[in-house]
Amino acid sequence: MNQKVAIIGGGLTGLTAAIRAAQQGYEVDLYEAAPSLGGRTRSFFHPPTQTWIDNGPHLLIGVYQRTQALLKEVNACSHIQWQNTLALPLWDEQRGHFSLSTSDKLPFSLALIHAVLNMPQHGWTSMPSLIRLAISMKFSQQGSVSDWMSRQHISAQLQQDLIEVLCLGAMNEPMQHADAASFCFVLQKAFSKHQYARLGWFNKPLSQALIQPLEAYCQQLGVRIHTSSRIVQLKKNAQDYTLHTHQTQHTYKHIIMATSPSVRNQLLAIQEHLETQTICNIHLWFQEKVELPHPFIGAIGCYGQWFFDVSQQHQTHSGLSHICVVISADQSTFSKQEKLDRVLQELKQISKNPKLKPIYYKFITIKDATNVVRSHQKSTMPEHIIDACEQPQSGELPATIETAVMRGEDAVAQLLNLLQVT
């Protein structure tokens, strides 16, 4: 075939598109503005601890089938630690540690009922809500997740212990703003069988677990990777496009856009209102051993929503203990010191260790962590430009690793269709 294609953006979407395009015989140039690949799934070297730390810890769901297939192809399947069946470890001040744990001895729907029955302060009182929720999941939903919950009279306890936690995790938005149609779609897919509902986490930093295997495979396939190469201008010619970095310019017939939608709009002069959500990650290191009872814990009614035991996830048993506290959709106006004090206080309770004092800490706040699900008109792309940017519509899957892989693969499928038509 020997057609040239340029991919702008070297995050997971761009890397996936590069692999699939190269496999189809395209000559691929991948442009990444940063000095290294990975985008939002990137890791940094943290000199004080001499370790690699992630932009933010990532959880996966068993339903991420295309991610798993891609990782299998690049021999990186073993980099994910999967639960056997869904277990959601939770904590709150009153009940302490408890969990939503499903038994694989029962079909998933019965296992979920059984799991809710066994949660403290639930039992049979949660049953009517659970049944209404299960029935309503079969129909398309409108408005916000909160609207959906009130329409179905879902009990406040079930909303707090199940829906709110899952909604923040999956949609990175509180229930009041999160799109009900998309969240319903996630639940339908994930809650269809044990294998899909279970959770997984990377057992090494993202750069090693995910990005390096993909980058190595790209190189094996002959993809030319240009890091520190920000595309600053995209110029349309009669038959093709010229891509400008500060140093170079090259011409391509086909372009796949795998940046954020805001960069795409800037390069293509599209005017559009975009909405993103923040994620704040507070990394803490301790000299003493801090081991949480689970690799991650959802904290209910706390400022820190997820407490990740990174040392446990990465099985680094020597040296410092590393905990990362995640606050999704952080709207607070607390100072950094106040945030630190709050999560530390919560961690002391969760770990039952009142004397904890971190020797290092690092805040990583990502303002545009996710492009949130909204109803919007998709912009029409100029000819030969394929849009693979993250901009989920109402009813579609929210912004995740899986949808990045899907967008990368679907962009190349679109490219092939385009060539068949022309």
Ligand X SMILES: Cc1cc2nc3c(=O)[nH]c(=O)nc-3n(C[C@H](O)[C@H](O)[C@H](O)COP(=O)(O)OP(=O)(O)OC[C@H]3O[C@@H](n4cnc5c(N)ncnc54)[C@H](O)[C@@H]3O)c2cc1C
List residues binding ligand X (CB under 6 A).
8-14, 31-34, 39-41, 55-56, 58-59, 230-231, 258-260, 263, 279, 281, 366, 369-370, 390, 399-401, 404
Smallest distance from the beta carbon of 31 to ligand X, in angstroms? 5
Smallest distance from the beta carbon of 412 to ligand X, in angstroms? 14
Whether the Cβ atoms of residue 308 and residue 295 lie closer than 8 Å to each other: yes
Smallest distance from the beta carbon of 247 to ligand X, in angstroms? 13
Question: Which lies closer to ligand X via its Cβ, residue 263 or residue 419?
Answer: 263
Q: How far is CA 326 from CA 113, 217, 304, 307, 386, in A?
A: 28, 31, 6, 7, 34
Alpha helices in 250-365 (DSSP H): 261-268, 310-313, 336-350
Question: Which lies closer to ligand X via its Cβ, residue 165 or residue 399?
Answer: 399
Question: Which lies closer to ligand X via its Cβ, residue 80 or residue 356?
Answer: 80
Of 306, 14, 78, 33, the C-alpha closest to 208 is 78
Whether the Cβ atoms of residue 46 and residue 281 lie closer than 8 Å to each other: no
Chain-centroid distance of CA 308 in Å reads: 15
| Distance separating alpha carbons of residues 314 and 201, to the nearest angstrom | 9
What beta strand segments (E) does 173-295 contain?
A: 199-202, 224-226, 233-236, 241-244, 249-252, 254-257, 276-286
Smallest distance from the beta carbon of 377 to ligand X, in angstroms? 20
Tokens encoding 173: 């938005």
Whether the Cβ atoms of residue 46 and residue 66 lie closer than 8 Å to each other: no
Element (H, E) at 365: strand 360-371
Of 53, 316, 66, the C-alpha closest to 207 is 53
Question: Which lies closer to ligand X via its Cβ, residue 154 or residue 256?
Answer: 256
Smallest distance from the beta carbon of 40 to ligand X, in angstroms? 4
Smallest distance from the beta carbon of 243 to ligand X, in angstroms? 9
Question: Which lies closer to ligand X via its Cβ, residue 358 or residue 398?
Answer: 398
Question: Which lies closer to ligand X via its Cβ, residue 119 or residue 399?
Answer: 399
Q: How far is CA 335 from CA 284, 291, 359, 369, in A?
A: 17, 27, 19, 20
Tokens encoding 369: 């962590």
Gyration radius of the chain's alpha carbons:
22
Chain-centroid distance of CA 267 in Å reads: 25
Reading phi first (left if > 0) and then psi (alpha if -120 to 50, else beta), residue 50 is in left
Smallest distance from the beta carbon of 318 to ligand X, in angstroms? 26
Question: Which lies closer to ligand X via its Cβ, residue 2 or residue 247?
Answer: 247
Smallest distance from the beta carbon of 203 to ligand X, in angstroms? 15
Question: Which lies closer to ligand X via its Cβ, residue 212 or residue 260?
Answer: 260
Question: Which lies closer to ligand X via its Cβ, residue 262 or residue 316?
Answer: 262
| Distance separating alpha carbons of residues 323 and 16, to the nearest angstrom | 30
Question: Which lies closer to ligand X via its Cβ, residue 154 or residue 309?
Answer: 309
Smallest distance from the beta carbon of 400 to ligand X, in angstroms? 3
Smallest distance from the beta carbon of 8 to ligand X, in angstroms? 5
